[in-house]
Amino acid sequence: MINKEIPYKIYLEESEMPKSWINLRAFMKNKPAPLLNPKTFEPITLDELSNVFCTELARQELDDTSEYIEIPKEVRDFYKMYRPSPLVRAYCLEKLLDTPAKIYYKFEGNNTSGSHKLNSAIAQAYYAKEQGLKGVTTETGAGQWGTALSMACSYFGLDCKVFMVKCSYEQKPFRREVMRTYGADVTPSPSMTTEVGRKINEEFPGTTGSLGCAISEAVETASSLDGYRYALGSVLNQVLLHQSVIGLETKTALDKYDIKADIVIGCAGGGSNLGGLISPFMVEKIQGEKDYRIIAVEPASCPSLTRGKYAYDYCDTGKVCPLAKMYTLGSGYIPAATHAGGLRYHGMTSTLSELKHQGLIEATTVKQTEVFEAAQKFARIEGILPAPESAHAIKVAIDEALKCKETGEEKTIVFGLTGTGYFDMMSYQKFNDGIMKDYIPTDEELQVALSKLPKI
Amino acid sequence: MINKEIPYKIYLEESEMPKSWINLRAFMKNKPAPLLNPKTFEPITLDELSNVFCTELARQELDDTSEYIEIPKEVRDFYKMYRPSPLVRAYCLEKLLDTPAKIYYKFEGNNTSGSHKLNSAIAQAYYAKEQGLKGVTTETGAGQWGTALSMACSYFGLDCKVFMVKCSYEQKPFRREVMRTYGADVTPSPSMTTEVGRKINEEFPGTTGSLGCAISEAVETASSLDGYRYALGSVLNQVLLHQSVIGLETKTALDKYDIKADIVIGCAGGGSNLGGLISPFMVEKIQGEKDYRIIAVEPASCPSLTRGKYAYDYCDTGKVCPLAKMYTLGSGYIPAATHAGGLRYHGMTSTLSELKHQGLIEATTVKQTEVFEAAQKFARIEGILPAPESAHAIKVAIDEALKCKETGEEKTIVFGLTGTGYFDMMSYQKFNDGIMKDYIPTDEELQVALSKLPKI
């Protein structure tokens, strides 16, 4: 296959689509630390976790030994409706940058949720249906996860209750209608409908919310309703497992054309996209077969991997969820209302945190104005209007390609283009009008939230 | 290839993508009547038309003898960024309807313009660039064409001025920002910046506009600026030519799996999608090789093919464009402000009009509430949130599939899913809230506009 001409878009055949997810943790020599029960601080058990999540998902959450887990046929059939996603060669961007680098992006935006989130949503809805549940509750930041779960629930005939981070709810008025079209209930968070929501509203009047708050509200609601469980779109091990379909397809497409990636880049909020994208690459890196530079890109306003502490912390603001050992800014940290709602999470999935801790991945931060500059450049030349979250990866991919221009190196750069920005036009408007600002927390600000980390 | 399993989505290889457009008119025994000069009522000449359009596009407009016209390499390269579009087997919809029919849809929504419009926009921008123009002006109804042309102009470094039908401008506030992100100017139409706009505003105070008005404004603006020409996203012969890429890909994909379509369905506003979709099928039908039922679906509020008159009429409200012989409701007809802005055109491309006149295509109307019902059903089971325009075709495809259920016939239904509804959420909201109304003009209302047809 060497020297075969690389098409603009590499689509796999249905027969080449993954039949199993890959469980990155199973390949790690030093595993991520176990989740802890928020009341006892002891490692959480399957029984305890099954009160929060569907039983099968709780099992996946705790499984750090099965290397591959079969994708149920019903999920694979749904995947066929919008996958395989294309691996795109950014010929036009390369030309614009005049770089010898070869740039590829795995584009996950060609589905109505607008992002990669559907990959895990459909799996979670499937297991909920299998267990005979009535419905699920969840949180959503940018709205992509909420849309994805609404779609998945409507497909399987499940009820879906979504708590949407207030700043996104206000910035993205039409997101609610998409979810409603799929039959979901949407509540801005923090709300007055849950105990934890009322408490947060009282403590921080006028707060624009955070993923951490919304998670607590969704968990509380699920536990108060019969036949409901909670579903989460990022951070969890199960989500990284499901999202490994991104990396597996990417790797298969590259291998098909004998392409070896040098750098793999992804935006990182809770870590769902990056964790999924890098899974098969990281396995090769761990096993010493091939080397890859892997870069997590965070917003400067919410820099968990780069400026957080590697410690046990609550996954949610309300402290109702299990604790995870992760890079965290503190579960009480509420980031500035930037325009990448999907990256406003105080922590980072434990797997990526442990990999960062081991020096197997790098992390960097970018400011939102430079992110939107990169987004506009990309939109104009590659035709795709990216989500602000995704544009974090674009920014760093461009930077790396420009470094190659300086050094003359023909590196192969692969990045995850997680979604589209059609519901982010208020943010683009601010950028177009030149009134977008950057937010970088001071060390003192970070110290406040970090000082409240649980003592474990 | 017989009995080969049909994948959910059929993607052609790059090498299978069309290298030439097909010019349906060249195959017609009775050609559509020629365009007329609006001042002399004589057939318009290449020189005259070249004052309005780029010269090469004017040539294509008048060419009814070349059966195939090569797609320039630059355009084919751009096509590779978002094409081939998938031909999707609607397995889930079939199952939901419990029909023996086999339903396929050609999905043109996987690009940032959100629709098929980009197919012609990039061609028109290319020829404008080749001619050394500074920019182009245009109109947009639903906003899809304006977005498409903005994208195409930004790619080739051309200026783009867009007149957007006022009702869409108001219903779709974020469309403007997408166009602006691509560097375009957007003005709601009728505006006060053109003579024709001021006149229409005076005559119909508070009008929500129409494609016909916006066209006049764009033409006037182009002719008043040096180095500008006008670009139009539908109705024209050149647009049908470029849009034939939809039909050619569809036909190639079907042929690859030995599938013979029985019914081909498309929504029809100006006719760009339907004309492009049916081109290669209609050629076979004209040549007596194969038979197809071809159905144009119109909104009940703007029923040109079904309730209009087949006569020469102006293509625009301001009467500055050439006249075409077509099914028309009269260029003064301003349809109700329904939620399918892209279908609110008083006429129908002359090629489809002539084919209808010859009995080679059928036409039907549907009401917007039943269109949104079909859209919601489709979104929930096939995962794609359709544009209201596209959902007109979905409605009729479902109806035909249900007829097959009654008769037990295993017909193959192919329809054009022209785009996505991400910028139509205000319309979906009205539907979700149960406050959407239907508009059907009375015979008397239609008679008023028809009585003003030019006497030719």
Write the pLDDT tens digit of every residue in B235-260. 999 999 999 999 999 999 999 999 99
Residue B90: what pLDDT?
97
The model's pLDDT over A140-193, given as tens digits with 9 standing for 90+, comes to 987 899 999 999 999 999 999 999 989 888 877 789 899 999 999 999 999 999
Confidence of residue A91 (pLDDT cuts 50, 70, 90): very high
- Check: CB of residue B404 under 8 Å from CB of residue B410: yes
Confidence of residue B3 (pLDDT cuts 50, 70, 90): low
Interchain contact B380–A (C-beta under 8 A) = yes
Q: Considering only A201-215, B39-53, B382-396, which range has the smallest mean pLDDT?
A: A201-215
| Residues sharing a CB contact under 8 Å with residue A444, sequence separation 6 or more, in sequence order | none
For this complex, say whether ipTM is above 0.90: yes
- Check: CB of residue A329 under 8 Å from CB of residue A396: no
The answer to whether the CB atoms of B383 and A428 lie below 8 A apart is: no
The answer to whether the CB atoms of B181 and A110 lie below 8 A apart is: no
Cβ contacts of B14 on chain A, cutoff 8 Å: 7-8
Record the tokens describing residue A30, joined without a space: 């030093």
Residue B272: what pLDDT?
95
Whole-angstrom CA distances from B161 to B57, B229, B322 are 19, 11, 21
Interchain contact B17–A (C-beta under 8 A) = no
Burial of A207 (0-12, 13-18, 19+ CB in 10 A): middle
Residue A3: what pLDDT?
52
Q: Looking at this protein, which amino acid is placed at residue A426?
A: M
Share of residues in chain A with pLDDT > 70 (%): 99
A1 pLDDT higher than 90: no
The answer to whether the CB atoms of B112 and A151 lie below 8 A apart is: no
Interchain contact B101–A (C-beta under 8 A) = no
Burial of B444 (0-12, 13-18, 19+ CB in 10 A): exposed
Interchain contact A257–B (C-beta under 8 A) = no
CA distance A14 to A11: 9
CA distance A63 to A450: 30
B65 pLDDT higher than 90: yes
In A, minimum Cα distance to B427 occurs at: A177
Quote the mean pLDDT of chain B: 95
B1 pLDDT higher than 70: no
Burial of B322 (0-12, 13-18, 19+ CB in 10 A): buried
Interchain contact B440–A (C-beta under 8 A) = no
Q: Taking the alpha carbons of A73, A78, A79, A83 in that order, is the dihedral positive or negative?
A: positive
For the segment A56-63, the average pLDDT, to the nearest whole number, is 98
Query: Which of A81, A177, A425 shows the shortest C-beta gap to B432?
Result: A177
Cβ contacts of B122 on chain A, cutoff 8 Å: none
Interchain contact B41–A (C-beta under 8 A) = no
Distance (Å) from the C-alpha of residue A83 to the closest C-alpha of chain B?
Answer: 9
Cβ contacts of A11 on chain B, cutoff 8 Å: 11
A321 or B260, which is more confident: B260
CA distance B300 to B377: 20
Record the tokens describing residue A106, joined without a space: 């795995």
For the segment B177-199, the average pLDDT, to the nearest whole number, is 95
The answer to whether the CB atoms of B380 and A155 lie below 8 A apart is: yes
The answer to whether the CB atoms of A181 and B379 lie below 8 A apart is: yes
CA distance A156 to B259: 30
Query: Which of A11, A112, A432 shows the shortest C-beta gap to B384?
Result: A112
The model's pLDDT over A195-218, given as tens digits with 9 standing for 90+, comes to 999 999 999 999 988 777 898 999
Cβ contacts of A380 on chain B, cutoff 8 Å: 151, 154-155, 182-183
Order the strands of the A102-107 sheet from edge to edge: A9-10, A87-89, A102-107, A412-417, A263-267, A293-299, A362-366
For the segment B219-242, the average pLDDT, to the nearest whole number, is 96
Confidence of residue B332 (pLDDT cuts 50, 70, 90): confident
Cβ contacts of A432 on chain B, cutoff 8 Å: 177, 180-181
For the segment A422-428, the average pLDDT, to the nearest whole number, is 92
For the segment B145-171, the average pLDDT, to the nearest whole number, is 93
Name the residue among B272, B270, B265, B289 with its Cα closest to residue B361: B265
In the block, residue with structure tokens 């409706």:
A81
The answer to whether the CB atoms of A80 and B428 lie below 8 A apart is: no
The answer to whether the CB atoms of B383 and A425 lie below 8 A apart is: no
Residue B2: what pLDDT?
45
Query: Which of B7, B13, B112 shows the shortest C-beta gap to A379?
Result: B112
Quote the mean pLDDT of chain A: 95
Cβ contacts of A385 on chain B, cutoff 8 Å: 112, 178, 181
Interchain contact B385–A (C-beta under 8 A) = yes
Determine the length of chain A.
Answer: 456
For the segment A260-287, the average pLDDT, to the nearest whole number, is 97
The secondary structure of chain B, three-state, reads CCCCCCCCEECCCHHHCCCEEECHHHHCCCCCCCCECCCCCCECCHHHHHCCCCHHHHHHHHCCCCCEEECCHHHHHHHHHHCCCCEEECHHHHHHHCCCCEEEEEECCCCCCCECCHHHHHHHHHHHHHCCCCEEEEEECCCHHHHHHHHHHHHHCCEEEEEEEHHHHHHCHHHHHHHHHCCCEEEEECCCCCHHHHHHHHHCCCCCCCHHHHHHHHHHHHHHCCCEEECCCCCCHHHHHHHHHHHHHHHHHHHHCCCCCCEEEEECCCCHHHHHHHHHHHHHHHCCCCCCEEEEEEECCCCHHHHCEEEEEECCCCCCCCEEEEEECCCCCCCCCCCCHHHCCCCCCHHHHHHHHCCCCEEEEECHHHHHHHHHHHHHHHCCCECHHHHHHHHHHHHHHHHHHHHCCCCEEEEEECEECCCCHHHHHHHHCCCCCCCCCCHHHHHHHHCCCCCC
Cβ contacts of B178 on chain A, cutoff 8 Å: 385, 422, 425, 428
The model's pLDDT over B100-148, given as tens digits with 9 standing for 90+, comes to 999 999 999 999 999 999 999 999 999 999 999 999 999 998 789 999 9
Interchain contact B92–A (C-beta under 8 A) = yes
